[in-house]
Structure 1
Amino acid sequence: MGLAGLVSLGLSLPAQAQGGAWPDKPVRVLVPFPASGATDLVARVVTQRVSQELGQQFVVDNKPGAGGTIGAGEAAKAAADGYTLLLTTSSTHAISPHISKRLSYDARKDFTPIAHLADAPSVLLVTPGLPAKSVQELVAYAKAHPGELNYASSGNGTIVHLNTAAFSAQAGIKMTHVPYKGTAQSIPDLTAGQVQVLFDSLPTGMPHVKSGRLRALAVTSEQRSALAPELPTVAESGLPGYASVTWFGLYAPAGLPPALVQRINAAFTQAMRAPEVADNLARLGVEPARPGSAAQFAAMVQADSERWAGVVRQFNISID
């Protein structure tokens, strides 16, 4: 089945008897970003497979806004029974805690880490009307036209915001930040030239490049992406050491019993191993994470959180 079919496919497989074990009723999977964004696409590909394997509905519920923190906050208040899960990214758990003191949740205390699902680099996109066909040309244009370029993000303090802030600081340029509820909402303005620059996730950015609506300059991973091998990395384009990858992970509210953590981890890990899931994620520019325990996922997030804390301090980023 093609990607379009997967995205539009309803998760409506009939429930099967589970003998009282999880899941014996539909599971709500909160995605704190808009429909058609990278996190939403990953969630639908993966939960469709989990639904097939377990014979139960997994309903993706988009709750966007405030860089993902609205949906994350809602998930934190849900019952810790395995029937409300949060599929989220670096933004809500590794970045937002360092840039806002007004979060409605504590990223470490209010959630139970379950599984690291996948990773994806971002792609540096520009509007076609901008006379820049490389990172070097973009930097040169920005320096020659200080303050004239606008860059979009998926919200204040999101990884898209920080990616661009770090890029601008390292390149020595200044651009104006225009936050949106999600990068998908910024695409019409980007193609029209009202904003000129966007660090979008590879999954959602490349289709617009292939259609000719946008121009891609580089990817943010340490190595070139197999999805777009013709694109250089930002690091090899004149900004050595620049690298950033978005992780996708699964959480439950705090207090989920360990046995249920293991059960859900196993179900999603098994789904990630399915060839069709890997194939469809590859089309999105997403790489399945190596199978690991909930504890390993928590340790990875903590290390990533500490790294972003350093970036926030370096560039004095705050949304309060």
Structure 2
Amino acid sequence: MDSVAPLPPPPNIIQGSLASGEGILCLGLPRSGTLSIVTALRHLGYTHVHHGAEQVFNSTNWAASIRASRACFPVWHGADKYETPPFTKADWDAFLGHYQVVSDFAGFYGEHIARVYPRAKVILVQRPFDSWYPSFDAAILQALFQPIRAFLFQRIIAPITGITAFAAHPYMVFGSFKARNVREARNNARAVYEEHYATVRKIVPPENLLEFNIEDGWAPLCTFLGKEVPDIPFPYVNDRNVILDMVNTLCFSLTIKSLWIVIKRLSPVLGVMVGYWLARQDMTALGMIRRIKDNLPYL
């Protein structure tokens, strides 16, 4: 009997998930076709798929990502008053283990989750640095860390809405790039990029690794996963402008949501203030009746 064969998962663990001893890790860094890949995998029948852009309103997810980042990235060790407990296998299972596929910002944790889930199949997309970096800079470093936007969403909107996605991004992005700010992340980008892909290739057994070029379409992906090739074109949906539109739409939606929350919270106070003003102007119901009665002789 194979001593490393995965045991049958407990009933509460999704079949084919990472926690079950299977699963798929898409460990290319963000802006490496991650949205195209997860769209393709959904066409192949994978239903429990994690992509960061779809997790914005899942505050539990972002709280876990902050804890994982503090534990995984040395730049955050001792950076604040909080202790940095280790992020255990049980923590990863609670964070990502119930998914069959993880992608996008999961790439930031590539080395760590590849070690935690050694039986998972790994899909690795590596774009040439000189084409990847401008896209990464525009869609992540510029879009998420504009000074005004970062302050607004991290310091004001996150506490109001309880949506902590923007508060978690510095921990993930800067931590993985061994940085404390955008300038340092840019300075370290090439070295970290090269190290990331070299480390994943070193850790993952060749039989579990697919070096995937999205332009090759369905064939290598389906062969690697043992799936039939669908009778539809391969989805190419990870366009930079699409991502920027998603970020801008999300920011607008969160701004409107926070304004609505503030209005609802302040409505009792506003009601009292308006009532007081109306009373001072003698605009209450009794005041209006009195005015009508006083003017009856002239009507």
TM-score by length of 2: 0.28
Higher fraction of helix = 2
